[in-house]
Structure 1
Amino acid sequence: MARIAIIFLTFVCVFGGATFVKSIEEDFIRLPLTSLHSRSRRKADVVDPNAKKVNLWNDRNLQYGINITVGTPPQPFILHLDTGSADVWVPSVNGDCPYLCKAVNKYDSSKSSTYKEIPGKTFTLGYETGGLSGSVAEETISFAGLEIKNQVIGIGENQDTDLNSYPLDGIIGFPWSGATSQTDPKSTILGNLHKNGHIKKRFACLKLHQVNEQPGGELLLGGCDVEAEHWGRVYGNGYWEIPIDKVEAFGTDGNSLDSICGPGSSVPDCRATFDTGAAVIGGPSYLIDPIASKLGASKYDENINDYIVDCDDQTLGNLEFTFGKFKVVMTPGDYLSKDGNTCTLGFARLDDLSALLLGDPFLRKVTLLMNQEKDEAGLAKSNIDKPVARPT
């Protein structure tokens, strides 16, 4: 999400100026599946034998990057794939210091024959950790062998805090619509791929892997290799946001539970936003605090916007999300993080939100299907979901 795309990612360091750009994309052929799982009982009509699979790069479970080139001749970047953002931006070679000039790769418009300035057009993006601004242009971008001409991009020139997530260079937004975009509210990457004839349907499928697995994740364009076990219609606010039927937190005894939202709770209307730009689970305090309390956490640190827990506490509970008949259970191994001798719960108070923000810890448990054709987001079991050990 543009407002929080860099949450808890500002501690990433530059890795010695090393260049991380290499070709990691590959084609694949998928055959239609016949089993029926979705709420509408439809077959997997979203499977396209010409779909393109793009491997993602996992930066320590904090963010997921995609190799991309900008300009002619191509200038290489690794951009943070962000389903909660509607903008594409890269750092300028003329970006201010000390922040933007730290980027591993920088864009130089003077070296590109396809650069087209949009006179007078600027952008400003606000993140939890600071702001970014710059100029706007049309450029040719390419990833997975798919070229998009006249893609509107932001060129980052001014930055007021160290919000960059090195070694990734910028962001490639992958939203439901461009409604929240500061650079191009009329289009999306998925729509532009379709417009350029690269995919038959405005559909994508996302799988995030654990840090020790290769590849770090997969983005499938134009189709998927699984059927959704649940579909939800997006709310129309620009994000991949759908209803949740129920959220329950299991106590430290492993049996008692509290209904955090859904029928019978104080918050009957539950919503979930799927956001690869967040390394945490987030939401308003009236949802996050009851979850943390039931799981067994009580100490909230305002400086890091997370709960501090005892790394040796073996009594932390589980969290269960229910979407129709589809359930996702998060255990401590899924949500806990450790930095040195400090363990954090991975739940952030974000009181400017009304929905639960389900970031990477949740998305590693599922396959996310994104269907612009029918304004829906779907969920299926992850084909690599398995018990995750607690951090040690």
Structure 2
Amino acid sequence: MKFVAAATVAALAVAVSAQKTLEYEIKKGIPGLRMGRPLPPLVGKRFGKRDTLTSMIVNNITGGGYYIDVEVGTPGQPMTMILDTGSSDAWILDVEADLCHSKTLQEKHGDYCSPTYDSSKSSTYKLAVEDGFRIQYLDSSEATGDYITDDFKIANMTIKDLQMGLADKVAMGTGVLGIGFPENVAATDKYPNIIDQLAEQGVINSRAYSLYLNDRRSATGNILFGGIDTNKFMGELSVLPIQRYGLKYSHFVVSMSDLTLTYNGQEESALQAVVNSTGVRGASAILDSGTTLSYLPDKASTILVEALNAYTDYAKTGLTFIDCGLLSSDMKLTFVFNHTTSIVVPVQEMVLDMLDGLDEYFPPDLPFDDVCLFGIQSTNSFGDDMGATSLLGDTFLRSAYVVYDLDHKQIGMAQANWNSTETQILELSSDSDSLPAATGVQDGQATTTATDTVKPSRTAGGGSSTTDAGKETVTVTSTPVMNAARAISTAGVDVLGVMVLAGVFSIFGGGVLFML
């Protein structure tokens, strides 16, 4: 089949002799590569008007999802994978994957294949578990195949014999690089995932990595395995304990003590009402790079919707829209964690201006004319009550510098220093008792002025284009939105269910994508 190639990626690899760290550039979206797809009917449900409208709207949101280029096999075969902190398996597309050879499936799922892997062309390929790989989406679609081992090259480092899924039946056109806790792999028999192998094979000294997404107008961010870059954040790096999810550490869950909106000289808490109404001792949040939007308990999101004069379309799409005029707003949201750590997110970072050409599908009673999508939605979208738990995706994470420490079961967090061009790396070690005390740049040194906001120009068929001013390029593709998934073992007993999304977004255990 014809494949529209992804844009060339410049890999930034930092692995100097004095430090065991590995830094790599990640991309936001892929020009020319459509990652999203329509949602197949749920069991016992037909497509309705709401599903169709939601698909048309959400599939126009671009710039979501972060991707990484790797090579698999000997000689290396290039792959593009979704980078996801919310899952733990790496999996790639088999050259014989059904989606890659069926126009019917491509039309059904609205997706086609990124580069695939041919085991016959790799001298280091080994079959690990035949028919042992299965990840099931919450809309009942799934990716299945074998578990294999092969060499896996990221930047200039090769991981020998990495176990990964090789999917031959898929509903999405790219693989996933899950970098979560190994306890959360989809296999019946647990195995060391990529984070384990980076440490075991001596590439890094600690099962930890730092994620820097940069602001929403930036095309790239980076991930630093085994270290902290003190030039990428401001002030002190706070250390937060990761909470158990059920009986084990499987997701990056932290205590979230407050969320306030500052506007017109006033400050309003959006989270205390949730805590008071649920009767729990405190709220929590899942940090997940595989989720493009952020989701708050309904009471909290409703407070923000009313304060910002946003609008939730309960009748057609289930989505919350906001006035694009707030792109120039000086209002801010302050997320507070563990009563000690504050991350400020400008409201304009939550205003997603990606809905041009869809005016006829908007509700007639919208209180504003220039329509944007709100970067915060209600967890009621999942069709299940999450209590006082929030899911914080990229619309939040772009404002934070986050260190994910699997060894110490800790999260390091500080305000992101946007558009930083300098690097100062601090190596991490598993021999210590905790993440180290680390100080970033002073507030006055921060380069936090974002590029000018520009209305995106559109090209048909998922191409990319620039504005007349030659500023930001925007690709009209469908990109991943929602993650928080479940991985189902072939034995059917190891099921991780995080959230159910009632027909609006599909939640995938690793890479999150639009499945509408």
TM exceeds 0.5?
Answer: yes
Secondary structure of 1:333's partner?
A: helix
* Residues 120 and 129 of structure 1, relative CA distance in 2, 3 Å threshold: closer
CA distance in 1, matches of 2:22, 2:228: 9
Pair 1:180–1:265, CA change in 2 (3 A)? same
Partner of 2:426: none
Written as runs of structure 1 = structure 2, the 5 A alignment for 1:237-252 is 237=245, 238-250=250-262
2:395 alignment partner, SS class = helix
The number of equivalent residue pairs is 353
1:202 — aligned with what? 207
The answer to whether the 8 Å contact 2:275/2:282 transfers is no
Q: What secondary structure is seen at the aligned counterpart in 2 of 1:114? A: coil
CA contact (8 A) 1:91 1:156 kept: yes
SS of alignment partner, residue 282 of structure 1? strand
1:145 equivalent in structure 2: 156
- Is the counterpart of residue 345 in structure 1 residue 358 in structure 2? no
Which structure ranks higher in relative contact order (CA pairs < 8 Å, sequence separation ≥ 6)?
A: 2
User: Which residue, 412, 424, 428 being the options, matches 1:378?
Assistant: 412
1:5 alignment partner in structure 2: none
List runs of 5+ in structure 2 lacking aligned partners. Answer: 30-61, 357-370, 420-447, 456-516
- On the 8 A contact 1:337/1:391 being kept in 2, the answer is no
**Residue 265 (structure 1) shift:** 4.1
Question: What is the alpha-carbon distance in structure 2 between the residues aligned to residue 387 and residue 326 of structure 1?
Answer: 22
What is the 5 A alignment of 1:90-109?
Answer: 90-96=92-98, 97=102, 98-99=105-106, 102-109=112-119
| SS of structure 2 residue aligned to 1:25 | coil
Q: In the TM superposition, what is the alpha-carbon distance from 1:62 to its structure 2 partner?
A: 0.6
What are the superposed Cα offsets for residues 197-247 of structure 1, whole Å, 9 maximum, x if unpaired? Answer: 111111211101236546x11111111122852111112331111111212
Residue 231 (structure 1) aligns with: 239
Q: Which amino acid aligns with 1:27?
A: V
2:134 is aligned, of 118, 123, 127, to: 123
From 280, 288, 308, the counterpart of 2:301: 288
Please tell me whether the aligned partners of residues 216 and 398 of structure 2 are also in contact (alpha carbons under 8 angstroms).
Answer: no
Match among 335, 347, 364 for residue 321 of structure 1: 335
Quote how far apart the aligned CAs of 1:322 are: 1.0
Higher strand fraction (1 or 2) = 1
User: 1:266 corresponds to which residue?
Assistant: 277
Matches for 1:1-392 after TM superposition, within 5 Å:
17-27=4-14, 49-59=19-29, 61-96=63-98, 97=102, 98-99=105-106, 102-117=112-127, 118-126=129-137, 130-160=141-171, 163-164=172-173, 169-175=174-180, 177-183=181-187, 185-210=190-215, 212-213=217-218, 216-226=220-230, 229-237=237-245, 238-250=250-262, 253-261=264-272, 265-267=276-278, 268-300=281-313, 305-312=318-325, 318-323=332-337, 324-341=339-356, 342-350=371-379, 351=382, 352=384, 353-354=386-387, 355-384=389-418, 386-388=448-450, 392=455
AA aligned opposite 1:58: K
- Please provide the CA RMSD for this pair: 3.1
Bigger mean CA offset, 86-95 vs 20-29: 20-29
Deviations 1:166-217 (A, max 9, x none): xxx2210111x12332147443321110011111111211101236546x11
Over 3 Å counting, the alpha-carbon distance change for 1:346 and 1:87 in structure 2 is same
- 2:325 partner SS: coil
The Cα shift of 1:81 comes to: 0.8
Is the 1:305–1:349 Cα contact (8 Å) retained in structure 2?
no
Larger of the two Rg values belongs to structure = 2
Structure 1 residues 125 and 185: CA distance shift in structure 2, 3 A: farther
Distance 1:121 1:74 in 2: 24
SS class of match (1:102): coil
- Distance in 1 (alpha carbons) for counterparts of 2:223 and 2:153: 15
Please state how far the C-alpha of 1:127 moved relative to its aligned partner.
5.1
Name the structure 1 match of 2:431. Answer: none
Letter in structure 2 aligned against 1:240: F
Q: If the length of structure 2 is used for normalisation, what is the TM-score? A: 0.61
8 Å Cα contact 2:352/2:372 also seen in 1: yes
| Deviation (angstroms), 1:26 | 2.0
Residue 381 of structure 1 and its aligned partner are, at CA, apart by 2.2
What is the TM-score of this pair, normalised by structure 1?
Answer: 0.79
When residues 83 and 170 of structure 1 are mapped into structure 2, their CA distance, relative to the original with a 3 A threshold, is same
Q: Distance in 1 between matches of 2:307 and 2:169?
A: 42
Contact 1:58 1:211 in 2 (8 A): no
Q: Give the drift of 1:280.
A: 0.5
